[in-house]
Homo-oligomer: A and B are copies of this chain.
Amino acid sequence: MSEARSGGLSLLRDLPPAGFEEHFLTLLERPGLRIERIVSDGQVSPPGFWYEQAEDEWVLLLQGTAELEYRDDTRIMLTAGDSLLIPAGCAHRVAQTASRTVWLALFFPPA
């Protein structure tokens, strides 16, 4: 029997260095599905900027904290382990991120 070996791609080790921009890494892409890792270090959406996406997005915070804001002023705090569906067309922005915040984001066609 062969020895156990460390496997897979770690989404939390060897993070890219913090910089001006967030880091986006496509982990897997299929028809109707894209998996991304996003590393944030305090970046937020520009004031007045709203994401309004053609795809549904399902996010899972893996590390750090983040705050999402919707156009009705609802604000959602996310900590590690929190998941959320952002339906296509739902205007939202990232109001706050801690340093070394790691997101998993899935994009797929709306229901």
Contacts and interface: CB of A to CB of B under 8 A. Distances in A.
Interface of A: 1-13, 27-28, 30-33, 35, 58-60, 62, 67-68, 73-85, 104, 106, 108-109, 111
B33 A68 contact: no
Contact of A10 (B2, B28, B59, B82): B82
Interface SS majority for chain A: strand
Specify how many copies of this chain sit in the oligomer.
2
B2 A104 contact: no
A35 B73 contact: no
7 contacts: A7-B76, A7-B77, A7-B82, A9-B82, A10-B81, A11-B83, A35-B58
